[in-house]
Structure 1
Amino acid sequence: MSWLANIATSCEKILQEIRNLQRSELAEAGEGFDVKKQVGSSTMAHKKNPIKSENASGLARIVRSFIIPTYENALLWHERDLANSSSERFTLSHAPTLAEDVMAKTADVLTNMWVDKDRCLANIHSQKGLVMAEKVMIELVDHGVPRDEAHEVLREASFTALANDEELIDVCSRTPAISAAFPPRNSKRCLTR
């Protein structure tokens, strides 16, 4: 049962990410949508609900919930009574079927999903390089700066960029602790890859 629950949970993690990326404000990726056959949202005509992902996520939760009765069934009187029988008839017959359905829906979503590369880049650029702060921090550590110091330097640079609506690369280029570790050309490389 744990194995089936883990598979269903892994599928749900993938589908949850796709559902989040499909939200209107992100719109970076999502499950395929057949305009001729699907309606989408019943209240917002423009919205394309990730129905398969939502459905499979709900079923994965049911598979995961079968773990509790499975463990409860280990408690038998004098090593054998029939208290486990009624719940096992349900969990053992339903869990594999539901897990298979979750896997099939996940495969279908992954096969037919879309990715908007331009929107991904636009979202990255809207963050003004902040998504690359970790990479600069790691480069600083690789250049001999202690990790806690590198983290603090990037934290301050990130907050400065946010407060002043600046690109992180511009703040990094004038931050002595960063520019001393490597030339501006290298900091630009860190923030663009």
Structure 2
Amino acid sequence: MQAVYSLPTDVSLASHGLGGFDELPSVDVIVPSFNEDPRTLSECLASIAGQEYGGRLQVYLVDDGSENREALRLVHEAFARDPRFNILLLPQNVGKRKAQIAAIRRSAGDMVLNVDSDTILASDVIRKLVPKMQDAAVGAAMGQLTARNRNDSWLTRLIDMEYWLACNEERAAQARFGAVMCCCGPCVMYRR
């Protein structure tokens, strides 16, 4: 299992007014999930539910035909009680991208935040990503990623180092040339 945290950045809505928006934009969080450990998924969804964001927030959990759906049932039921959460149960596995598309088609928010089902967000991630999107030239913004189990082995330390390099060096170098090729999937926000 590879789990990551998305850590806070140094930007706040207070320092940017409302981040160039007349009002806070609505944010739809898309969480595709396939055969996720129930505890890991619950931690992910709880971190989304606990976001410190004053705008409208909707969450779309897409169970992509998980074989352990019965084990996940209690997690689905617990979060379905929150009116912000929408649980989509796909009848069979169609893959991460198609699961994301299924949720995006149902969503209507101004911003879409894709979050992997093993990602735990710091409580201010959405509040700090939204101002990054104030510039119309910015098509996506991502959180700083840190492997939660980074100290477990040499492999997890390498994974954590790769996240750091991807987030801080590669994307910064690409930005200097005006063409960031991609944002890391565990926590990335797009404008609709």
- In the superposition, the TM-score normalised over structure 1's length comes to 0.23
Which of the pair is proportionally richer in strand?
2
The structure with more radius of gyration: 1
